[in-house]
Amino acid sequence: MNTAEDEKFMRMTFELAESNVKLLAGGPFGAIIVKDGKIIASSANQVVKSNDPTAHAEISAIRLACKNLGTYDLQGCTIYTSCEPCPMCLGAIYWARINSVYFGNSKADAAATGFDDHHIYQELAKPMAERSLKMTQLLTDEASTAFKLWRETDAKFDY
C-alpha cells in the first residue's frame, strides 16, 4: 500500500528529473534511495555531464548510497525512480539487494520520449550467437584460475 511518504519521495524524483532537464544537465530521470524513512542518496541522470553511459539516475544513486552507508548491500532500502528502470539499472538494483522499487513513468513512456530499451530486451532473449553484439568466449582454462582460487580461499565473503 502506498503511503503519503512514498508519494513525497516520488515527487522528489520528479523534481530531480525536471531540474536536470531545465538546467540542461542531462536526461529526464531522477532517483532517491531511502532507508528507515531517511534519504540515503539521490541523483539525477548524469550520463552527459560525466561522459559515462552507466551514470543513469538509479546507478548514480546506488553508488552514492553504498558510499554513504559504507556497504555494497542495500537491503532494507527502497528506491524511488522517476521512470521504470532500464535493464542495466534493474540489474544493479537486484545486485544491490534493494527491497522495493517505486517508479513513475513506464518503459513505454520512456520509449515514446526517445529512451527506448526494447532492443536490449530483445537481444537478451536471443541465444548469444544470434545477438547483434559479437560475444566470444576465450581462454577459458586460464580464466578459470581466479574462480578456482575464490572457491578455495577461506577469506571469501558472500555478496
**Residues labelled catalytic:** 58
Torsion of CA 109, 40, 100, 74, to 10 degrees: 130
Q: Using alpha carbons only, how large is the chain's radius of gyration in Å?
A: 18
> Distance between CA 48 and CA 27 in Å, rounded?
8
Q: For strand 77-83 and strand 38-44, is the pairing parallel, antiparallel, or unpaired?
A: unpaired
**Which position has the grid cell 531540474?**
19
Return all residues near 74 (Cβ < 8 A) that are at least 6 apart: 33, 35, 62, 65, 66, 96, 97, 98
Length in residues, the chain: 159
